[in-house]
Each structure stands twice: as structure tokens, then as C-alpha cells.
Structure 1
Amino acid sequence: MENFFNHYLTFLAETATIVVAILIVAGGIAAIALSKRKPATAGQVQVTDLRQQIEQAADRIEALRFDKKLRKAHQKNLKKVHKARKDEKCTYLLDFKGDIRASAVSALREEITAIIQVAQPDDSVLIRLESGGGMVNTYGLAAAQLLRLRAAKIHSTVLVDAVAASGGYMMAVTADRIVASPFALLGSIGVVAQIPNFHRWLQERNIDFEQFTAGKYKRTVTLFGENTDSGRAKLREELEETHAQFRDFVEQFRPQLDLEKVATGEAWLGNKALQLGLVDQLATSDEIVVEAAKKGKLLQLSYQRSKSLPQKLGLAAQQSWDKIFFH
């Protein structure tokens, strides 16, 4: 009887796995089909007055803390402060949470475009950045978007609370200033490529894999074919070339760094990163945000585009795939 239940539970687990896999694949196919039939829904940049939120929270606390007379005096003082703020500078706050594909770059480009249209000479941008890196081309594009702020002469500061490594650090160096929390992880100026190879597994089952290419190096290594020493050597050569370009990019914006020390693929916690020159200041993003709110207007920008259910399922399938094969 025990064996029967064990087999039955195994059967249920396998069935559930298959059903979930089918749903994910179906969702991805539906999202692709929908995107071909119908153009993407236009999104818009949402703007939140963060300074107002911060001050309202403080007001609610003070309303309970002080008596009526003190509250009245405080409100009168606030009115004077608000009156003096008419021609003050504005700080824009953006959030970038990066996955393997740097998917958030599509929102980032819209947010930066909006800022460039309205920014005044004394305005600045804060970017709360969290990313462990990913694909070179997409993170290169994300870094290029941040460089648009430099081109427009808008001062920018990257804030790192948790991690800005590899492609994430590539983005960070484009800013005029990098601020990290003491235990944030930064650096990883290196390049990696890893893929499983199923060639021997296929051979054991008498399954042939055939691949046809034109061009000597169209495919250097493969998932299912037999990899060669020359193919591996070519891939290593390409990785070294990409690493050299990464180093040059970092050096362009942070020439004070000793690349022999920091461009080794290692990552460091905030305190050590400060010693090495990878960051300019240690502080949490909250400290910098509150400080900006005291100095002037603080607006948070977030580009939002509504997604249909099939599109959401397709995105979930893609993220699951990335986690399995890239982590």
C-alpha cells in the first residue's frame, strides 16, 4: 500500500509539473500571437511628489506629538518655508531593478526622455539601481540611456542599496556620483559565459545532432553538438575582447580606478568599494532621498504600461527560463 501511495504522489507531482509547463508555454505563445495581431498598449510616465509624501507623514506624527498651540506655530513656520520654495531646484528619482535581460531599460528610456524635456539647469537625477548584471548588449543599452543625462548636462547620482555588479556596475559608472550602502555589493568587472552540453547524453541514446552553419565562427560552442578546442578558444577570445571593452568603458568615467586591482571579476562590499574608489560615498538611498527633499522639489518618475493576461504569462515564462538557465 505504501508503494502505491508513493507512486501515486510521484504521478501527481509529474502531472502538475507538466500542466504548469504547458500553461507557461501556452501563455508565452499567446503573448507572441497577441503582439503580432495588436500593437503594444501605449504607456505613460507616472509622477509622484515624494517630498509631499514625506512631509505629510511628518505632519501626521507631529499632530499627535504636539499640543494645539505648538502645532499651530509649526504650521505657520511650514507656510513660510513653502512660500520660499517657488523657484527652487527639482530632483527626479528613478528606479531600475535589473534582470538578466535588463528588461527595465524600456521604461528607463521613457523616463529619461521625459526628464530631458523639462529639466532646468540646476535640476538633478537620482537613480536607485539594483542589478547583478546580465547580457552585455542590453546592459550596454541601459548604460547608454543614462549617458543621455550626461549629454544633456543633467547631474546624476546612482544609489546602490543592495547590488550593482557586472552590467549593473557598468550602468553605475555613467553617473557623476555613486553612493552605496555599507553592505551593498559592487564591482564584478568581468565577463562570463556558461552553457550545459548534452552531447554525451545524446550519444548514449543513439541520438544524432546536426547543425549547419555558414561562416567559420558562426557557432563556436553548442548545447547539443560536440564542442571543439578551437571553438572553445574562439569563445575565450571573444570574452577577453568584451572584457577589454568593459574595462575601457569603466576607465572612461572613473579614471581614478586601478583597473589591475578592480577589473578582476571580483565584487566588494560598500566599505571596501569606497577604499578602492568604486563608489564616492557610503549612505543608504533613503538618506540621500530625504536630503534631496529638504533642498527642493522631489519627483519620482515611473513609466507604466498595462499588460494583458497573455502578456503577463509570457513574461512569467521568460523570467522562469532566465532563472533556470542563467542563474
Structure 2
Amino acid sequence: MNERLEDMQHSLESSLLDKDSYKQLVKDEQKREKAEAKARRKALKKGEAADKAQRRVFVLDFDGDIAASEVDPLREEISAILTVATPDDEVVLRLESAGGLVHAYGLAASQLERIRSHSIPLTVCVDKVAASGGYMMACLADRLLAAPFAVLGSIGVVAQLPNFHKLLKKHDIEFEVLTAGEFKRTLTMFGENTDKGREKFIEELEDTHELFKGFVSSYRPQVDIDKVATGEIWFGKRALDEKLIDEVSTSDDYLMQASRDADVFCVRYEVKKSLQERLSDFTVSAGDRLMVRWWNRLYRSRLLSR
């Protein structure tokens, strides 16, 4: 990321400065880089390289869906980082998720706990949303940042399902649920639900909520958990007031600042695709673009004809 930011800077400088000024700037920078390289070689000869090593920041991205399907690449990325990272380094997670399945986000949060267990500082940046299961992940951060209008919180549990029993009964359709164990099934979509089944279902939701509250409290003890664990959401600045986050900032600002005194690396696990798979993906995307282009033309022509 350092190199990408430098390329952006050079592109602007080449346009803003006159030719001679830009040439002098490049010469000065090359001179500085040579001096730094020479100093590193001298330190290496004296056995001082380990003491002079640049701090490293490893950047991960997690864009969560309801099933937290990105947990698979996340676990690979974290495993790779843990083979080289030290407590002097840092991991930054750019997190976006509105939550989802409890067990899926529980596993995702456990992956972040691996970083903490190795005493490697963990910073989580939320630019848009970290709610419910997303906040379960975010609260593990040693330092939690959010953009001014990012959505955070939703520390609650919800479950909903339709019930078609009355419709089936109206059409003389019977539906049977056979179980071994009193509470193997509590509420169903097609059977007749009982008050006892509802009470048990709500009891399980409440228990999950208590586990969620305890999890957040263990990592952010400064939070008044009874006040914030109502299922409500807060925007960035309000979340700071409730101590759900530590600072209001975007990930862009944080990483630009980090790049001034650290080497910043983006880490992403990708499965190598075969030629056939790449061609197939290209064909699908090209077809989609063609359909959108023709649809726009057809839509504009209809507007003009009116």
C-alpha cells in the first residue's frame, strides 16, 4: 500500500509541478532512498538489522453476508500472517457486516481471537456497518475505529419464520412432525405451534442474547452492556459516546497515517482458477455488460419515442 500511495503522490506532483521542479524532486527522493539503503547494508553487516526492522501493518478485508461466507479466506489469511507477524507488528481489519447466523459469526470472531492470543495488536476499522454478528467481530479489537456515520451495535438476537398450519388445515392437509426429545422441535413452519414450544424458543433466544452480551462485555468492559444491548444501532459519533468504539475515523485516514512509519501490506487469500474458469467468468461478465448496454439503449429509445 505504501507504493500505491507513493504512485498517487507522484502522479499528482508531476502534474502540479513544473518540469524542472519535478525532476529535482525525483532526484532528491532517489538520493534519500540510496542513503537509506546504504544505512541498511551497514546495519546488516554489524548485525543490527533486527533492531532496525520497519514495523509492518497487515490489512485484511471482511465483507460479511448472512452466512459469514468470507470466514474461509479469513482463516487462511490469518494463518499466513501468524507465521511471520510479531507483537511489534499490527493487523488491521476493514470490516463491513450487518450480521447473520450466530455460529458463523462466532467462528469469524474466533479467528480474530487467534490474533489477540499471539499478542499482535488488532485494529478494526468500520466504514459503513458492523452490526449484530458484525459487532461481535468488531468488539475483539484492541482499537476500534468507525466512520462518522457508520452503523454499529444491534446487540440482540432475532428469529422469525412463517407458519402455514392454518392454510394447510383449511385445505384438509395434515402435517406431522415426529421427534424423539421433548424440545427437538419447538416452532415449525407447517405444524401447529404450542405455547410451550414458543416459550422454549424464546428461552433459547434469551440465552443466546445473554451469551452475546457476555462476549461483548468481556472484550469491551467499558461499555454499559445493559444500556446498549437492546438491539438498537448507533451511528459513529453516537457509538463513541456509548463507548462502543474508541475513535471516529475512516480506514483511509488510519492507513495513510500508518504508512508514514510502517510497511503496509494488503493480504488476500484467493484460490487460483483454471483457464477454463477464468474464461467462463469473463464470458459471464461480458454477457452481463452487453445486456445492460442494450437495456439502457432500449430504455432511452422508448423515452425518446414518447
TM-score range normalised by the length of the shorter chain: 0.7 to 0.9
Distance 2:198 2:220 in 1: 33
2:34 is the alignment partner of 1:68: no
1:82: Cα distance to partner? 7.8
1:211: Cα distance to partner? 1.4
TM-score normalised per structure 1: 0.77
Could you give the per-residue CA deviations for residues 86-126 of structure 1, whole angstroms, max 9, x where no partner exists?
62111111100001110000010000001000113311011
| Pick aligned residue for 2:201 from 227, 231, 235 | 235
What secondary structure does 1:304 align onto?
coil
Give the residue type in structure 1 aligned to 2:186: T
| Pick aligned residue for 1:191 from 157, 172, 183 | 157
Give the residue type in structure 2 aligned to 1:74: L
Contact kept, 8 Å, 2:87 with 2:118, in 1: the verdict is: no
The alignment's C-alpha RMSD in Å is 1.8
Query: Unpaired segments of 5 or more residues in structure 1?
Result: 1-49, 313-327
1:248 corresponding residue in structure 2 = 214
1:301 corresponding residue in structure 2 = 267
Distance 1:131 1:84 in 2: 42
How do 1:34-45 and structure 2 match up within 5 A? none
Give the residue type in structure 2 aligned to 1:105: V
1:74: Cα distance to partner? 1.9
Contact kept, 8 Å, 2:58 with 2:264, in 1: the verdict is: yes
Could you give the per-residue CA deviations for residues 199-232 of structure 1, whole angstroms, max 9, x where no partner exists?
1111122211111111111111011111110001
Give the residue type in structure 2 aligned to 1:201: L
Q: Which has the larger radius of gyration?
A: 2
2:169 is the alignment partner of 1:203: yes
- Identity among equivalent positions (%) equals 50
1:258 corresponding residue in structure 2 = 224
2:63 is the alignment partner of 1:97: yes
What secondary structure does 1:128 align onto?
strand
Relative to structure 1, is the Cα distance of residues 159 and 82 closer, same or farther in structure 2, using a 3 angstrom cutoff?
A: farther
Contact kept, 8 Å, 2:87 with 2:121, in 1: the verdict is: no
Give the residue type in structure 2 aligned to 1:267: I
Structure 1 stretches of 4+ moved >6 Å: none
2:253 is the alignment partner of 1:287: yes
2:187 is the alignment partner of 1:221: yes
Relative to structure 1, is the Cα distance of residues 186 and 84 closer, same or farther in structure 2, using a 3 angstrom cutoff?
A: farther
Relative to structure 1, is the Cα distance of residues 304 and 220 closer, same or farther in structure 2, using a 3 angstrom cutoff?
A: same
2:227 is the alignment partner of 1:276: no
Distance 2:80 2:207 in 1: 35
Relative to structure 1, is the Cα distance of residues 77 and 201 closer, same or farther in structure 2, using a 3 angstrom cutoff?
A: farther
Give the residue type in structure 1 aligned to 2:15: L
What secondary structure does 1:219 align onto?
coil
Higher relative contact order (CA closer than 8 Å, sequence separation 6+):
1
What secondary structure does 2:162 align onto?
coil
1:81: Cα distance to partner? 5.5
How do 1:61-140 and structure 2 match up within 5 A? 61-79=12-30, 80=32, 84=36, 87-140=53-106
1:72: Cα distance to partner? 2.6
Give the residue type in structure 2 aligned to 1:119: A
Distance 1:82 1:141 in 2: 46
Distance 2:35 2:194 in 1: 72
What secondary structure does 2:244 align onto?
coil
The count of residues paired between Structure 1 and Structure 2 equals 262
Give the residue type in structure 2 aligned to 1:68: K
1:306: Cα distance to partner? 4.9
1:77: Cα distance to partner? 3.6
Give the residue type in structure 2 aligned to 1:76: K
